[in-house]
Amino acid sequence: MQKWFSKFGKKELEPIDFSVLKTDMHSHLIPAIDDGAQTMEESLELIAALQNLGFSKLITTPHTMSDFYKNTPDSINGGREKVQQKLQELNNDILFESASEYYVDFEFQNDIGKKEFLVFGAKYILIEFPFMEAPKNIEDIIFQLQLQGYNVVLAHPERYLYYTLKDYEKFTQKGVFLQLNLLSLVGYYSPEVKKQAEKLVNADLISFVGTDCHNMRHAEVLKQCFTNPLWHKLSQSEKLLNKTL
């Protein structure tokens, strides 16, 4: 049941923070390995900000892209360990783990079955698509990953405007989990992305939500979600799996 409070005569939803999720499974918090945090100080500042939003566990997911961010499990895990050491020095007991956000390109497809990918939880692998056009052979790529025992999680489906709701229904029927960016709920990316997000939420197709936090601007805007009706609806969904991680 939604609860309301009055602000300057207007009714607004009572704030719900992200403690109901426990875990954020999509962020970019390791310094200087992708387009997220660039310094250790920035990384620690972002982690503290996400804690203040209610998270008690962070699974950070740096980009792995053959053309731009040539990350490996060693570079990502090594970076995570350095952040963990700083957190320990600060007596910050937040749970801090790492996986990756894999860009679906030729090199990624070629690595399936040959290299081990970084995963989280129940062998979930986070993948992302190009924003301008659908990747080729995507059903075959997903099938190949599933044959290797991976549970495929598609990052921010609301941002791929070349797909329809029916397309996403087909993805979920094939065992793909959809992860929505919380920033999409408040229109951060565009009105079109927000509309797509609303469709996915109302169709109950979302299994994970993430901050996709890259910088302090993201962290500041995320607080706007607390009184957002779509976030309230999501927070009550029994389908969300964040708290199982």
pLDDT in tens, 68-86: 899 999 999 999 999 999 9
Q: Looking at residue 67, what is its pLDDT?
A: 84
Average pLDDT, the chain: 95
C-alpha to C-alpha distance for 194 and 26, rounded to whole angstroms = 18
Closest CA to 45 of 224, 185, 220, 242: 220
Closest CA to 49 of 36, 63, 64: 36
13 pLDDT above the threshold of 90: no
Where b means 16+ CB within 10 Å and e means fewer, 76-93 reads beebbeebbebbeeeeee
Beta strands 95-98 and 57-60 are parallel
5 pLDDT above the threshold of 60: no
Closest CA to 139 of 117, 101, 171, 105: 171
**Partners of residue 97 on adjacent β-strands:** 59
Q: Find the DSSP H helices in the chain.
A: 40-52, 73-89, 106-111, 138-147, 165-173, 191-202, 216-222, 229-235
CATH superfamily of the 15-244 domain: Metal-dependent hydrolases (3.20.20.140)
pLDDT in tens, 86-145: 999 999 999 999 999 999 999 999 999 999 999 999 999 999 999 999 999 999 999 999
Q: Looking at residue 3, what is its pLDDT?
A: 57
C-alpha to C-alpha distance for 236 and 20, rounded to whole angstroms = 9
- CA neighbours closer than 13 Å in the CB half-sphere of residue 139: 7
Question: How many CB atoms are closer than 10 A to CB 41?
Answer: 11
DSSP string, 15-67: P--GGGT-EE--B--STTSSSS--SHHHHHHHHHHHHHTT-SEEEE--EE-SS
SS3 at position 216: helix
Closest CA to 105 of 73, 147, 69, 59: 69
Q: Looking at residue 68, what is its pLDDT?
A: 87
